[in-house]
Structure 1
């Protein structure tokens, strides 16, 4: 099996020393080094390397090293071909996405979704931030929140635009950031500034166990597909819809009234084909 696939499907919590070991193991050409060498690079004990291997489901470090070797061999043969390691055909692709969706509740308990929903329910304005690659998912999340009547502000990545749009953030505001694959460069500064101004922050990530500094008020983290080179936005999109549902059920009467008002305004503005008339 692929070591990267094992890591991608794991929900184990890592200690600080285990995280350092993981960072070493995720480097290039690691299958040829011993557990003692890994420990030396991670500035920890060899027992930590063995403990991490067992946490991930291996019988020991040699078995983990065999999977590292498979990863390196796959990289040599597949090059930059998309889904070269897991199969490009429709059946394999859909199976991977279904597997990622099925394990989503394992990574994100419902109580975590509801805790984040309560923050948004009590907010006047929601500020949204991500790297450019996740912009389409951020747009969808913004629209899901607007459908509940929440005011959203899309934050631009350039410093001047970011400052102009964030200047109104206050204690009645919440910052939602996407940190998929890698965190946006200004994420730490934004999270710290949101806390300084008395507001709240939520980070949606695809790296369970990673400790963001400073820590957001709520972290929603779930692995995406197992293929390390080709991961879709299906999981963060599903989280956007789940977050909308969790907010709605905190006050169904209030939010249904908003949805009805949106429908009425849509018809008023000429969108009769978009919204059917209510009896």
Structure 2
């Protein structure tokens, strides 16, 4: 369950408010059920919703008509659209999940996720250039250390990027794993280092603080964000802003991972064999150490 303010779009709240004087107690019970669970509200038919609200099976149809719709199917389509329409991703995780399930419909969840991922990846082809990838890899290649930072789901991506950089012969620090010792991790950050940020959906306070420290130390900052997560102040020195999918789609984790992989691959293509030699050395060490 989520709060009705999270579950219901502004348009639907306005619709309910506009017709509030005409609503009956049965209508109010139905609306209470509808606004408590965005997934079920968008998928169930009128008879099922009426049953859950404990009212007559025809009550959902009467409510829809009082709100200006021809019947309950049209009202349900409006609820579905209210989940998927918007200028950006939902702040509520439950509402985001609801929108994705609505979009999946009868076609199947796996097919819907695959379609979303493919569409999100395809738009990267025209939205991100090889020169932007080369800017990132060029800065990293010259750095003493690379501090990598992301929160939430992107903490896992930051950890993976730091791991791959270390294996490729570049000294990298996963800041997300050192949140309890951030002052110790950042105290020697300098103009010789690089800060690589992943910021999506919103920029959390600690990320802003780390960016501010980097700016005060003259540390070059790279950032990969979605189109709504670009509010980093001061702005990064090099910035790739990319959509991870439209509202109601899967909000791909593959998109930023693909861009990060391209940067690391470009490093290997331009660092005169440094990455290749380091990877070979690491493979030999792991095989000989008995730690694999």
Structure 1 length as normaliser, TM-score? Answer: 0.66
CA–CA distance in 1 between the matches of 2:99 and 2:153? 17
The structure in which a higher percent of residues are helix is: 2
Decide whether the 8 Å contact of 1:140 with 1:240 is kept in 2.
no
* Alignment of 1:218 onto 2:238: yes
Decide whether the 8 Å contact of 1:86 with 1:227 is kept in 2.
no
Gaps of 5+ in 2: 1-7, 15-76, 85-93
* Alignment of 1:199 onto 2:180: no
Decide whether the 8 Å contact of 1:144 with 1:240 is kept in 2.
no
Q: Which residue of 1 aligns with 2:207?
A: 187
Over residues 199-253 of structure 1, what are the superposed CA-to-partner deviations in whole Å (9 max), with x where a residue is unaligned?
Answer: 1111110116945321111111111122447423111111221111111111242
* Alignment of 1:83 onto 2:104: no
Aligned to 1:225, the other structure's residue is in SS state coil
Q: Which residue of 1 aligns with 2:140?
A: 120
Decide whether the 8 Å contact of 2:198 with 2:224 is kept in 1.
yes
Measure how far apart 1:157 and its partner are.
Answer: 8.1
Aligned to 2:164, the other structure's residue is in SS state helix
In the TM superposition, 1:17-166 aligns within 5 A as: 28-30=9-11, 73-75=80-82, 81=98, 83-87=100-104, 88-156=108-176, 161-166=181-186
Measure how far apart 1:269 and its partner are.
Answer: 0.7
| Higher RCO (CA-CA < 8 Å; seq separation 6+) | 1
CA–CA distance in 2 between the matches of 1:159 and 1:144? 20
CA–CA distance in 2 between the matches of 1:265 and 1:229? 43
Gaps of 5+ in 1: 1-26, 34-69, 275-279
Moved more, 227-236 or 178-187: 227-236
CA–CA distance in 2 between the matches of 1:32 and 1:91? 32
In the TM superposition, 1:244-259 aligns within 5 A as: 244-259=264-279
The root-mean-square deviation of aligned C-alpha atoms, in Å, is: 3.0
Measure how far apart 1:76 and its partner are.
Answer: 6.3
The structure whose Rg is larger is 2
Over residues 35-76 of structure 1, what are the superposed CA-to-partner deviations in whole Å (9 max), with x where a residue is unaligned?
Answer: xxxxxxxxxxxxxxxxxxxxxxxxxxxxxxxxxxx7754346
CA–CA distance in 2 between the matches of 1:142 and 1:260? 18
- Matched residues, number: 211
Aligned to 1:223, the other structure's residue is in SS state coil
